[in-house]
Structure 1
Amino acid sequence: MGKSSKVELRATSSENSVLLKQGNMIDDTCVNYSIQNMTVVENTIQLTKDNGISKAHFLQACPDCLVMHFSNTITVAGVPIRMVRSFYIFGKTGKLHESELEPIRKQAECLKFPQPAQFIYDGVTEFCPETKKNETK
């Protein structure tokens, strides 16, 4: 089960792309990856590869937080075979007030994510350290 997640978005030399760098702590193991040149269209970033399409939709949910609805459609020979979805809340601090979380829960419920949430950051667990050796592009 997930214990912490950290996302970094960086501008690239192109105004229509960003570098998305993400580290997830899952069962005490860091899973880091970097995806370059994700296309930006309004509040969505997208990456298309031979085996599928990854999309991340963003919405500012409170003054110090951002919601990301991520989907990855896996394809074989151009035919979708599986979709993986996740819903992230990112804040500038480790904890959000209950008043900030309630509208976000309603968004997650509207998107058909199970309630209560399957993972909530405890404000204590470490984030994955930035390392080059575990990153893939």
Structure 2
Amino acid sequence: MYATKTAVLLLLAVISSNAEPTAEECETLGKRLPSKDLQKIYGEWVLVWSVSDHDKGHDTLLNCSSSHVEFKLLDDKKTIEYIERNVYLGSLDSCTTYSSNLTTPTDETTEHHTLKCDVVRVEKDGAVQEYNDTGAVDFYQSCEDCLLMVYKTSTHRFLLSYKREGSHRDVEQMKTAHEGLKKLAECLKFPHDKPFAYDGLADFCHKKSAPAEAAAQS
């Protein structure tokens, strides 16, 4: 396990050539997160890089200023609450919140699980709307303060790379992972010519990106 994680970190951190990824690289980069390690996803995260395989997905990403997500295990110990808060360019004073419940796997014989969400609630400017479009989430192994996942709808997919809130402002460090993420995108059949990349500064709709720094300047 340690050797696998080390290999993943090296491939994500090293800037590579433009050559197509080898089968060995794809096997290492594309390792799914074991279901027994799902507790690693809990907490608050900041989207730092993402691509989509559909024009609609591209437009959504490129119009995004910041995206903040939270995964929280509810009291029943079976349900994971997922909350995504996005700020879009041109509406910096407005927050669009997506929320859904994911059910944790009960089949302990399966090493990796795809988490399903059947109803997504969208709230914007106080108005709530429900979408019955189904979604599915796969998590992948990554660095200790990273979250790597693929979110699939009925029409398109997103490859999403997050940093844990608190370690999301080091843009130069995050840039070193971009080439590895592009290779993973190729392995998973995603185009990567129109990526979203967080600038390390944009605030979130419900809190400042760097609250301590903002307080010091006030």
Instruction: Work out whether the TM-score is over 0.5.
Output: yes
| Distance in structure 2 (CA, Å) of the matches to 1:88 and 1:5 | 11
Partner of 1:77: none
| TM-score (structure 1 length as normaliser) | 0.73
The structure richer in strand per residue is 1
The answer as to 2:112 corresponding to 1:39 is no
2:157 is aligned with 1:62: no
Displacement of 1:101: 3.3
**8 Å CA contact retained: 1:7, 1:21:** yes
Report matched runs for 1:1-137 at 5 Å.
1-29=63-91, 30-36=95-101, 38-41=102-105, 42-49=112-119, 51-73=132-154, 83-92=155-164, 93-94=167-168, 95=171, 96-129=173-206
Q: Which has the larger radius of gyration?
A: 2
Structure with greater contact order relative to length (CA < 8 Å, sep ≥ 6): 2
Secondary structure of the residue aligned to 2:97 is strand
How big is the shift at 1:69? 0.7
Secondary structure of the residue that 2:177 maps to in structure 1?
Answer: helix
Given that 1:6 and 1:22 are in contact with CA atoms closer than 8 Å, whether structure 2 keeps it comes out as: yes
Rounded Cα–Cα distance in structure 1 between residues aligned with 2:104 and 2:194: 28
Distance in 2 (alpha carbons) for counterparts of 1:127 and 1:28: 14
Q: In proportion to residue count, which structure has more helix?
A: 2
TM-score (norm 2): 0.49
3-state SS in 2 of match to 1:103: helix
Deviation at 1:117, TM superposition (A): 4.3
Unaligned runs of 5+ in 1: 74-82, 131-137
Secondary structure, aligned partner of 1:61 = coil
Instruction: Provide the aligned length of Structure 1 versus Structure 2.
Output: 120
1:48 Cα offset (Å): 2.1
More displaced 10-residue stretch of structure 1: 94-103 or 9-18: 94-103
What is the letter of the counterpart of residue 115 of structure 2?
A: I
The structure-2 alpha-carbon separation of the partners of 1:21 and 1:121, relative to structure 1 and needing over 3 Å to count, comes to: same
CA RMSD of aligned residues (A): 2.2
Identity %: 28
Q: Show CA shifts across 1:5-52 (max 9, x none).
A: 11100001233320001111222432112213x112345321124833
Q: Per the alignment, do residues 91 and 117 of structure 1 end up closer, same or farther by CA in structure 2, a change over 3 Å counting?
A: farther
